[in-house]
Structure 1
Amino acid sequence: MAKRDYYDILGVSKGVEVEEIKKAYRKMAIKYHPDKNPGDKQAEENFKEAAEAYEVLSKPDKRQRYDQFGHAANAQSASGGGYGGGSMNMEDIFSQFGDIFGGGGGSPFDSFFGGGRQSGGRKAARGTNLRIKVKLTLEEIANGVEKKVKVNKQVLCDTCDGTGAKDKASFQTCKTCGGSGAVRRVTNTILGQMQTTSTCPTCNGEGSTITSKCTVCHGEGIVRGEETISINIPAGVSEGMQLSMSGKGNAAPRGGMPGDLIILIEEIPHETLKRDGNNIIYDLHVSFVDAVLGTSVEVPTIDGKAKIKIEPGTQGGKILRLKSKGVPEVNSYQRGDQLVHINIWTPKAVSREERDALEKLQNSPNFKPNPGKHDKSFIDRMKEYFE
């Protein structure tokens, strides 16, 4: 069964701001939450579907790929994991609620009604995303390539293995939250008691405190370092496209989840070939004599040289097609074509003998333009190409 459009699922338009997406998801989450619809399988499916839509549309890089490629963008990730849609479980979904409803996550009904699921315990910080640019030649874009890049970023401290503590004995359970990473508060209102959950202010949701910090990272668990990362770039990417590698961004303090590495694609202009979508454009200049008599010439392609035949009487502006000599579509077997534009080269200076020969030909009927017979408009030539 085909997946529904994520914007349709949340009931928002394509150009809507992130805050509106959050509001729409909050409404859907409350409506279809399992605690409110016990035993309703359809409500549970709607709940998961809304969470998947929010997971993609709430993140700028994932949303950009989805807007460009739709559900096929799931294959665009350089790490092979896509943008994360379609693989969420209930634990993943409830982890979103800290952003949507505030507090330490879990069911929104925890704070509204004092019941439901627990918050999931300790809250670990997440590393920040890292953005780099990768320049590719036209040949690399056409064939796909593996790039090894050195990235300067935050890495785990080797001295404390990323814990931030001097040793194991330096950890102690947080006295404020008892190790849960969250504190609950009950408030009496005119509607009765209302319970809210928030991150523990003492341990920042980690559930423990450090009595003696690592002398190298000063308790952060991360230091500045360099890592060589291998990036598999699929064939067919284009200028401005962004790929994502999950977990390859900056390391997180004290063992949290690392951020993602965002790769921005830049194309290096080719000396002779021009890219137009998935097609390759090449301007071929032939002499007047070769255009009249016909000839065979070699032209460059992204796969090497290709020999083409110039038919006798070829007109300037004619377009020759080399099928499947263009750039492939991303994660597809289809390739564009190479379009060879014929240009008639006219010499600026000729010898006396050449001039005499040309003057003799000047009055020949075969060398006088006949628009009705020979010349074709640009539109006619394009129609001829696509037929």
Structure 2
Amino acid sequence: MARRRTAFLLFLCFASCHLVSISAKSYYDILQVPKGASDEQIKRAYRKLALKYHPDKNTGNEEANKKFAEINNAYEVLSDSEKRSIYDKYGEDGLKQHAASGGRGGGGMNIQDIFSSFFGGGSMEEEEEKVVKGDDVIVDLDATLEDLYMGGTLKVWREKNVIKPAPGKRRCNCRNEVYHRQIGPGMFQQMTEQVCEQCPNVKYVREGDFITVDIEKGMQDGQEVVFYEEGEPIIDGEPGDLKFRIRTAPHDLFRREGNDLHTTVTITLVQALVGFEKTIKHLDEHLVDISHNGITNPKEVRKFKGEGMPLHFSNKKGDLYVKFEVLFPVSLTDDQKAKIKEVLA
């Protein structure tokens, strides 16, 4: 336990030193809420993301730790009405000037203070179990190799149930209350009664809208882009989440295996024997030189280092593997056969 606490404190020091260099991504984008989000929406979004990326759940995952720092930094600003107003008008530069001029809260709370004040010291498991959630919606999303190589966005039409006001009242927030009833002199019986409040009635209405899905460079099949509270709603609870599960779409030229790319190039018999100069156009249209001076055997595979897919959240790349198919002539004249024998004999 002591080691875990020490590791967490070291992480806090690291994160606080890097908050000024956090991604230029909007604080609203970081918390996955619209710019006009209410305080309650911001709280719910922070709660879910902070639980997901908490260092205790992501031991040794540096990228998750960075995200946790981003989330806390964004929440510190957007949960403070004064800071949020300055940020909306002037951005991060405005916040820096405000802090430099002695504005309140210039130093801000540290990450542990934010998390503890929000969750009240309860464990992550306890917090997760308290929430009554609607169903998650999982959608397989075909992403092109180009988008997975360079990053991109997709607009997806989404229809879902939305809770709307309806006429009348309904029983809600029902709970069981225990009371004692006297059944005789000095004799009592314990009874349980369900007690419900009367709330405005609601109904489900089907609505649709476009959702913009960001495809990050190097994402792998099976990775998910999550939109919190965009899943199925539930009365007197929180909506589930909408999850787009990435799936690599087939490509005409390249085939992906993990972080590597594979392709096949056809050359002539002459090129296979004497060498050739050749380039192929990559996914971002830069040219890869695959020329060779020596002999190329049929189905020979050559590796071109660093020409594969980018690794997710990394500057490194996988490799490109090119398999060469040799195109043999359909027929030869007697004269051609004689010349070949003369050369190769």
Q: Establish whether TM, by shorter chain, passes 0.5.
A: yes
TM-fit CA distance, 1:260: 0.6
Structure 1 unpaired stretches of 5+: 4-51, 58-62, 106-123, 188-197, 214-218, 364-387
What's the secondary structure of 1:291's corresponding residue? Answer: helix
What is the 5 A alignment of 1:96-107?
97=126
Structure 2 unpaired stretches of 5+: 1-5, 9-47, 72-111, 181-191
User: RMSD across aligned C-alpha pairs, in angstroms?
Assistant: 4.1
Distance 1:309 1:231, change over 3 A: closer
What's the secondary structure of 2:122's corresponding residue? Answer: helix
1:315 is matched with which residue? 296
1:71 is matched with which residue? 61
CA contact (8 A) 1:75 1:331 kept: no
More strand as a share of residues? 2
What's the secondary structure of 1:350's corresponding residue? Answer: coil
TM-score using structure 2 length: 0.57
1:209 is matched with which residue? 198
Q: How far does the alpha carbon of each residue in 1:345-377 deviate from its partner, in whole angstroms, 9 at most, with x for none? A: 3224223432232122231xxxxxxxxxxxxxx
Q: How far does the alpha carbon of each residue in 1:64-113 deviate from its partner, in whole angstroms, 9 at most, with x for none? A: xx7xx973573899xx97xxxx957434836954986xxxx5xxxxxxxx
Distance 1:132 1:156, change over 3 A: same
What is the 5 A alignment of 1:1-387?
2=7, 71=61, 74=64, 89-91=118-120, 93=122, 97=126, 125-157=132-164, 160=165, 164=166, 166=168, 182-183=175-176, 185=178, 201-203=194-196, 208-210=197-199, 213=201, 219-220=202-203, 222-253=204-235, 256-304=237-285, 306-308=287-289, 310-316=291-297, 319-363=301-345
CA contact (8 A) 2:158 2:211 kept: yes
Aligned residues: 241
What's the secondary structure of 1:93's corresponding residue? Answer: coil
CA contact (8 A) 1:125 1:253 kept: no
TM-fit CA distance, 1:278: 0.8
What's the secondary structure of 2:148's corresponding residue? Answer: helix
TM-fit CA distance, 1:183: 4.7
Moved more, 278-287 or 302-311: 302-311
CA–CA distance in 2 between the matches of 1:201 and 1:343?
Answer: 76
Of all paired residues, the percent bearing the same amino acid is 18
What's the secondary structure of 1:331's corresponding residue? Answer: coil
More helix as a share of residues? 2
Amino acid at match of 2:342: K
CA–CA distance in 2 between the matches of 1:301 and 1:307?
Answer: 7
2:43 is matched with which residue? none
Distance 1:96 1:223, change over 3 A: farther
Distance 1:96 1:340, change over 3 A: closer
